[in-house]
Structure 1
């Protein structure tokens, strides 16, 4: 029997390796996405090699040369709650993959034992006999459903793709975090610059108001000039509390993004002289062409991995059409304390076939459900790619517009400053009324504020362009920080699983700007994290 059993096992293993029902996943890239670009993006980007000194999309914020911003980014990577949760979801997906991998081994592995007390009484005439006897036994049972149709292989494939999707989702969370933090940081700097302008203009207008007040009291001018000067001064003064509030709100937002309650931000003092500074960067530095960066965006890759996971679920569902072939075996032993009772040892082994032959409707519709879900995810993936392309093109277009306005607004504020000087001179010499001074002051304040706001728009558009192209996914922080790891290991025996999951995430973090293998992985996800 042993040679026959071994031959049967080998034959079934070969069939199991060869037969896998359900579709093999194929990426659903639309033709346009393979070579996509736009004139706007080409105008505001600069492609460099990996060896170039310029920062690439992994840590694009280095392009600003602002240590305060860099320190905030490091603090956010280490302490942000959303990133920690995303890392734990990767760990959860790795544990789910471990559950799926268990399907490769016998599904039933049971050891049982029992001890019973048995009371007996006999009566032979006037010589009654009675007693209590023990009966005991032990057994071991094994049930192994062979992966004849690839049910478990498809389940592993699905869990593996979900594991990669969890990693991509964590990277997408990093992209979003870094963009939000940089945007909030420069919102703070913009508010500081606007506050400085408002205070300078308020001080200028206050002096004009005080002069007109003295002239009115001495009878040298009428009340109209006084009230107009007062109105303009108070109007500018009223903008200051709002800007101060914006600064505080931005600080609160930065505190939360860096994983702290609202409070002091020591990172803002690491590089003095950056208060109120809004830089102008005219080009985004890219390490690859926009089409490749677009398809490697973490959220785009996550959508593709989700498609791969769902594609494998069709195979899991289709396996129900076919019989389930299992190998069953058991070893049992029983005995009794009764004198003369025999000990028994039993061995049972053999194949078992189970087939739901009258459940065709349920199985068919379950396959249809899984296929419909795959098609939904396919369309969602294509929509994600199209939306990503739109975001990148919109950001590039907005950046171009802001750069074109930069020179115009700079000239406008220079002209407004000169106009105010001339208006003051002409007014003092008595060649014009005070209204022209007020108009010149108002124009100066407006043009200076518009110039700073436009610079802020340019920075925001650059950040949006990097975000749209998937930049900023890199972090030096581990998947699970040391404190969280220690807390979890006190509750549960994690073994090497935390280290394994972190190691599986490492290639994407230390490799090229955007890991090229990530796009190809859905075609054969079981070769990745399943080791």
Structure 2
């Protein structure tokens, strides 16, 4: 380490020169620019005829309103304010703002320190003119200041990195919103699908119970064999046994909704009057092309900001290879109670240079570490874009396939119901045995259950498409991010200044929900 200081007379012009140089010197390291995704400009997903374009269409930030379900609207509104994961994401925004404040503070003198001490001294002196004992008091006080000039851009890059990290935390909170809205909606409609399946199972239990009673009476009267009775009983019990599993699914879905709403497992009063009917959404309308929506997805924006933050860290690491140039100063006083020794006041000021000239292997490898992390972040950004495109195509294909399957299943159910009607009539007229009736009943139950399952899958696929397009987030205020009662707890513990009240700065790369 090399350290040098000059006299006060020399420090003034040198300090002025350093200030001018620092202002003029561009920060070291790469200037980040978002990677160009070449294939995206020409990417026009087929979307399998599920999407139409309408410049007047509503945006998809509240896509669930297209289902017209007030219960779902209420559940989603509650989830926004009570979900623990969303609160954590909001608190990370607050954390990143505080970290940005730390980085910004480094622009100013990094050392501002007051040192003060006092002592009582009792001395015994043997020999000499001061032979004997004396008591006296001493005191010292000094104010030290040191300001490392941002000559190579260390602190500017640090602020740049912290700024990008803050915007990444905002994008992350938006991404949590997107996922939360989708999770609540999928669970809610999964719950309604399960209710529908339970109703179907109970209807079939009632039908098969009637058949069982008929075969029991016929067997007891000697008109039918015990085989028909036992077959009817087997089918009835098998259908009845399916209901507990469905009711268990209902409990699991309800408890999962409770967790998303920040509640303990138990009943949800909001679901008390919910039935098994599912929405029949019409054509999906978008006012922007998927490629544009994709780049505004919160997870894509988060990946871009994380790469920008890491890019600035390369510059921070590079500055360690160069000397740190500082201005320092001390104002001090020392005194004592002895008459023979006067008080002393002092003023010390000058420049200082610190340079780790014998640590090049360590410092250069740190630059390489940061650059490797930057490349990882860039690859992560590209991977996120690829994943987003895949999710859009998968969701649209799923809508198409479940829609096509629904038509087939509906026709199949009509045929199964007709088969049951014919088999029952032929059995009553003596033209068919009871096994034909049992088979027809089993087919009706199976097809009815498949129809309900596929309807639920179709709704879930529509939700997935809106989610893959980045719909479901909105701009938030500090009140949305951290509820007032939580902020009050934090304020009681710690002095947060105005951070718990100040508006949240918005990222410059997309301030509007899609």
Partner-residue secondary structure (3-state), 1:495: coil
Q: How does 1:114-513 map to 2 (within 5 A)?
A: 114-120=117-123, 130-269=133-272, 272=273, 274-474=274-474, 478-500=480-502, 502-504=503-505, 512-513=512-513
Match of 1:57? 60
Cα distance in structure 2, aligned partners of 1:296 and 1:165: 13
- In structure 2, what is the equivalent of residue 33 of structure 1? 40
What is the deviation of 1:499? 2.4
1:5 Cα deviation after fit:
2.6
CA contact (8 A) 1:198 1:237 kept: yes
User: Structure 1 residues 230, 19: CA separation in 2 closer, same or farther (over 3 Å shift)?
Assistant: same
SS at 2:505's partner residue? helix
Q: What is the CA distance between 1:118 and its match in structure 2?
A: 2.9
How many residue pairs match? The answer is: 505
CA distance in 1, matches of 2:284, 2:342: 86
Residues 249-269 of structure 1: CA distance to partner in whole angstroms, max 9, x if unpaired?
A: 111111111000112212224
CA contact (8 A) 2:21 2:151 kept: no
SS across alignment from 1:370: helix
Per-residue Cα deviation, 1:52-92 (whole angstroms, up to 9, x for no partner): 4x4x3212111111111111111111111111111111111
Ranges in structure 1 where 5+ consecutive residues have no aligned partner: 515-531
Q: Report what 2:5 is aligned to.
A: none
Gaps of 5+ in 2: 1-7
Query: Is the 8 Å Cα contact of residues 118 and 132 (structure 1) preserved in structure 2?
Result: yes
Give the match's secondary structure for 1:503: coil
**Following TM superposition, by how much is the alpha carbon of 1:293 offset from its aligned partner in structure 2, in angstroms?**
1.4
Q: Residue 11 of structure 2 contacts residue 350 of structure 2 at CA under 8 Å; is this kept in 1?
A: no
- Partner in structure 2 of residue 9 of structure 1: 16
TM-score, normalising length: structure 1: 0.89
Deviation at 1:7, TM superposition (A): 7.7
Tell me the secondary structure at the aligned position of residue 134 of structure 2. strand
Shift, 1:4, TM fit: 7.8
Paired with 1:113 and 1:498, the residues of 2 have a C-alpha distance of 35
Is the 8 Å Cα contact of residues 12 and 146 (structure 1) preserved in structure 2?
A: yes
Distance 2:132 2:225 in 1: 133
Rounded Cα–Cα distance in structure 1 between residues aligned with 2:143 and 2:355? 26
